[in-house]
Amino acid sequence: MRSVGVEEELLLVDAGTGEPLALSAAVMSAASREGNAENGTQEGALETELKCEQVEFATRPVLRMGELAEEIVRWRAQAARHAADAGGAVAALATSPLPVRPSTMAGERYRWVSRQFGLTAQEQLTCGCHVHVSVDSDDEGVGVLDRIRPWLPVLTALSANSPFWQGQDSGYAGYRSRVWNRLPSAGPTEVFGSAEGYHGQVRDMLSTGVLRDDGMIYFDARLSAAYPTVEIRVADVCLEPGTPVLIAALARALVDTAARAWRAGLPPARVGVGLLRLASWQAAKSGLDGPLLDPRTMSPAPPGAVLDVLLDHVRDALDENGDLERVHQGVARLLDRGNGARLQRRLLSTTGDLRAVVAECARLTTPPAG
């Protein structure tokens, strides 16, 4: 069974006003003090990101989705505790509902990003969820990357949790991906064909000087530079802790299914990048409240029908991993109740106040134990 880990970026906010707060340094200081007091180290510590208004954590790699759920709840609670020590709160929101002028973290790499990408970097306060799934080799990993391409927009739709941007309804369920894809290396990729083809593409991109290092290869899915994993990067950070577990289970099943097809010598679907960009755009626009593009045909279909196609595609892998029932229940729940985008809009409709939306989302980010 393949191991799975999740990285989540969380928004730091004022619990009363809902406004983003530049508290990441204070949160890191609180986390460091606790780690030093407990064991003199900060293994698996919280980490900073590009903006001072966000913080990131990574779970350890696990085999069972129940373990992953416990990891996510634990790390969210830890981030919330340290944020509270610094006078704030954490919210699993992929964009800030309220207007914000985000500030960039100190450090040469972050300064380089700001100089290079200008306004795109200045506005880049977005929070994603990245899923790492183990692979046996770069060859297998690239075989997977080539075969999961058409399916990734469905994960974007499921996770969509960013309907608001700078105090306005964006008209999208998942606007984060539209902001993120302004970066020059972000988005879907062509078929690489081999590990050599993948690494050659990365070398060619770095040789242009547009990117500083391989950490700026922001493909929708990539080989991790640090771990023997495929890293799937298309999801918004999800509001309720159970949703990233669903995304992770589906991501692992996609990797299993693609690896099996690669080993059998089955060719990847030759879907062009242009069509994949349209599928990604449609997923961000609709979420679960409008049409998506069927990954097999790239024709529009209702979200429930597209999810049925995805579940059928990965059914064997889900069953083998023991995730089939969990995933079916999770998908049915999202179709019934809606994802984070639908919940945020419903909260605004009820309260008429984006501050109340943020406050409730902060509460849902770290539900009470039990």
Centre a 10 Å sphere on the Cβ of residue 139 and count the other Cβ atoms it contains. Answer: 14
Tokens at 303, concatenated: 């979200």
Whole-angstrom Cα distance, residue 289 to residue 192?
33
Structure tokens that stand for 38 in this block: 């407990």
Distances in Å between the alpha carbon of 274 and those of 21, 187, 189, 278, 351? Answer: 38, 11, 10, 6, 40
Residue of 260, 227, 318, 312 whose CA lies nearest to 143: 260
On whether the CB atoms of residues 172 and 178 are closer than 8 A, the answer is yes
Whose tokens are 């309720």? That residue is 240
Residue with tokens 């299993």: 256
**pLDDT at residue 369, rounded to an integer:** 64
pLDDT of residue 202: 97
Q: What are phi and psi of 127, to 5 degrees?
A: -125, 120
In angstroms, the CA 336 to CA 151 distance is 22
Q: At which residue do the structure tokens 């679960």 appear?
A: 288
pLDDT given at position 35: 62
Contact in structure between 178 and 284 (CB atoms under 8 Å): yes
Segment (H or E) for 355: helix 354-365
CB 185 within 8 A of CB 205: yes
Q: What integer pLDDT is reported at residue 358 of this predicted model?
A: 97
Q: Is the dihedral of CA 307, 11, 132, 195 positive or negative?
A: positive
| Amino acid symbol at 290 | G
Instruction: Indicate the angle between helix axes 65-85 and 24-39, nearest 10 degrees.
Output: 110
Give per-residue pLDDT as tens, 124-133. Answer: 999 999 999 9
Residue 220, SS3 per DSSP: coil
**What global pTM score does this model have?**
0.95
The amino acid that residue 19 corresponds to is: E
DSSP 106-136: SSHHHHHHHHHHHHHHHT----EEEEEEE-S
Q: How far is CA 276 from CA 145, 149, 266, 269, 281, in A?
A: 13, 8, 20, 11, 9
Which residues of the chain carry a pLDDT beneath 50?
Answer: 36-43
Separation of CA 208 from chain center: 27
- Structural domains present in the chain: 4-365 (3.30.590.20)
Q: What is the pLDDT of residue 32?
A: 81
Which helix (H) or strand (E) segment holds residue 314: the answer is helix 303-321
Alpha-carbon Rg for the chain, nearest whole angstrom, is 19
